[in-house]
Amino acid sequence: MLPGLKAGFTLDARLEADSEQLMWLGLCELRVMNDRRWPWLLLVPQRPGAEEIHDMTPLDQAMLTFETNMVAQALKKATDCTKINTGALGNIVRQLHIHVIARSEGDPGWPGPVWGHGLREPYERSDLRRFAETIKAAL
For the segment 94-122, what is each residue's pLDDT rounded down to a tens digit? 999 999 999 999 999 999 999 888 999 99
Helix or strand or coil: residue 84?
Answer: strand
- 5 has pLDDT over 60: no
Q: Do 34 and 123 contact (CB within 8 A), yes or no?
A: yes
Within 13 Å and on the Cβ side, how many CA atoms surround 125? 0
125's CB contacts (< 8 A; 6+ apart) are none
Q: Is the pLDDT of residue 4 over 50?
A: no
Percent of the chain having pLDDT more than 90?
88
Inter-residue contact 81 to 75 (CB < 8 Å): yes
pTM score: 0.92
Tally: H helices and E strands in the chain: 3, 5
pLDDT digits (tens, 9 = 90+) for 50-78: 999 999 999 999 999 999 999 999 999 99
